[in-house]
Amino acid sequence: MESSKDTHDIFGESTDQRALGDNPRVFRLEELAIATNNFSGDNKLGEGGFGPVYKGKLLDGQEIAVKRLSDGSIQGLEEFKNEVLVILKVQHRNLVKLLGCCVQGEEKMLIYEYLPNKSLDAFLFDSTKRELLDWKTRFQIIDGISRGVLYLHRDSRLTVIHRDLKVSNILLDEFFNPKIADFGRARIFGGNEHHANTARVVGTFGYMSPEYLLEGRFSEKSDVFSFGVLLLEVVSGEKITHFHHLELSLSLLGYAWQLWKESKMELFMDPMLLRESACKPDILRCIHVGLLCVQELAKDRPTMSTALSMLTNEITTLPDPEPPAFKERRVTSQSDSFPQGQESASVNNLTITNMEGQSTITPTQFITDSQTLTSSGEIFQLGFFSPVNSTNRYVGIWYNKIPVENIVWLANRDRPLKDSSGTLRIANDGNLVISDGRGTILWTTNVSNFAGRNSSVSALSDTGNLVFRLVDDNSTRGVLWQSFDNPTDTFLPLMKIGGSSLTGTKQELTSWKAESDPSVGIFSAALDLVDNIPQLVVSSNASKRLWQSGAWNSKIFIGMPRVGICIMMDSI
């Protein structure tokens, strides 16, 4: 069979081909195309970093979910192989069931059981659907997740660390029984292995433990941390990446901790649960267990077995929790019980600082989707945003005190983030980068020939210029890259447009493609030589001239003697 040959090609000689043939079925592309109505948009359930997921119906009437690898995704290919090899070795009623795979030509797909209620976040963070999640249902979900994780850690043939536990990776069947999904980042531990290091941290911000996020160290306790975050989200109905207590500048974890200290934990409960007064002790116990799971040091967190016993009252007396990680978005990571490994990308005593009101990004300070960078005079702000009628996320700069977001510069305009997992940070090579929760770099300053990670910083100035420079050189010679040399659709004072015939570089303004799409549109404004004299020219599709400024007379363009200090090009 053709697909069998391709399956061998993709997994290689070392793959247990018998395992692929014993339980999971090898599907043909043709039958999946029929099942999904040729992968119709109407059948699309969603999309993740791996690729789109489609609902399908086989000829025998069985409903399926088809996870299709996006074209050209090397990282997705690795996660595809990893997911198959991991999930073949584990089987539990709280883990999503793999039915089979399809590897045929360029197509690579995983076929799962279809779960009609989709993912937990679709209910938990929807004000209408959340009404269906009474406490009995929520605890059923919490209990099922904890049993699934416990199975991965202790009860299966192998120890499996999931590394990406989050609400969107919890699927729900028709009776709201939870099933853990997405094993593309999972890691199998063998023998006496209890922890590991990695130079490539992958996961979703908000759910990653401090030792994993900052030092690349992961273990069962990393999953326990993620479970604790998830537990607190389920009880509160709040999303970890969107919650921010303005008055106290607290994260969701910090808010739970503050209320626990003040013996006011009922204020942390989802208001929809307050009417279930008989369940209040159980709900408060879950908050307490959640706080124990998100403690800063891995050695202080319970194992999954202990956490489950606490949740089910097998352990009646709970210890007091230590302060959680990231409670004020300012956390110092200290080495705990894990030994330092050579592969680790770790740096001890790193600090994550809340960037609200700050103007600098350093190797130990970065901003996430819910945070912003503000220039020292509070004139400009940088952060993540979505255009009107779009859910894509971009990094942009806007005027801080204008009520409506007025975007004056964009970074990743042609490579948007698909969710709120993005960060703007200094990468290991020293460049300023935007990466998603899976570690994929979507944009970079792409500077070479400098010392690297600990030698660079980035600052937002009161002119609206994002400057990337050497850490010990504040002069113009220390500037490695700046947004003023890379304009998008807006011309600010001191910004440059022009070019060089020697280097071939060109700096021009380009319109947005549409109001909801800031990628490069069809209109541009650039300096051009007209009869050997510089003029500012507005063109369509870089060829048809729509307007020109008149010749430069060494002081002004004669056609625009009173040009303003800022020209903004709108999409037409």
Encoded amino acid at 277, one letter: S
Tokens matching residue 16: 């247990």
Contact assessment for residue 180 and residue 96, using Cβ atoms and an 8 Å cutoff: yes
Owner of token pair 């199998």: 188
Distance from C-alpha of 316 to C-alpha of 308, rounded to nearest angstrom = 12
134 counts as catalytic: no
- Count CB atoms within 10 A of the CB of residue 48: 20
- Nearest Cα to Cα of residue 328 among 249, 260, 257: 249
Distance from C-alpha of 56 to C-alpha of 415, rounded to nearest angstrom = 29
Given the DSSP bridges, would you call strands 25-26 and 98-104 parallel, antiparallel or unpaired?
Answer: parallel
Residues 275-312 as b/e (b if ≥16 CB within 10 A, e otherwise) read: eeeebeeebbbbbbbbbbbbbbbbebbbebbbbbbbbe
Contact assessment for residue 497 and residue 491, using Cβ atoms and an 8 Å cutoff: yes
* 165 Cβ neighbours under 8 A, 6+ residues apart: 145, 149, 180, 207, 223, 226, 227, 230
Distance from C-alpha of 212 to C-alpha of 198, rounded to nearest angstrom = 9
Encoded amino acid at 330, one letter: R
The length of the chain is 572
Distance from C-alpha of 510 to C-alpha of 160, rounded to nearest angstrom = 49
Residues 22-34 as b/e (b if ≥16 CB within 10 A, e otherwise) read: eebebbebeebee
Q: Active-site residue among 42, 126, 164, 429?
A: 164
135-150 vs 220-236: helix crossing angle, rounded to 10: 170
Name the E strands within 14-163: 25-26, 44-47, 52-57, 63-68, 98-104, 107-113, 159-161
Sign of CA dihedral 518, 519, 522, 523: positive
Contact assessment for residue 499 and residue 505, using Cβ atoms and an 8 Å cutoff: yes
Distance from C-alpha of 421 to C-alpha of 436, rounded to nearest angstrom = 5
- Dihedrals phi, psi of 243, to nearest 5 degrees: -75, 135
- Dihedrals phi, psi of 305, to nearest 5 degrees: -65, -45
Name the E strands within 73-152: 98-104, 107-113
Q: Among all residues, which ones are annotated catalytic?
A: 164
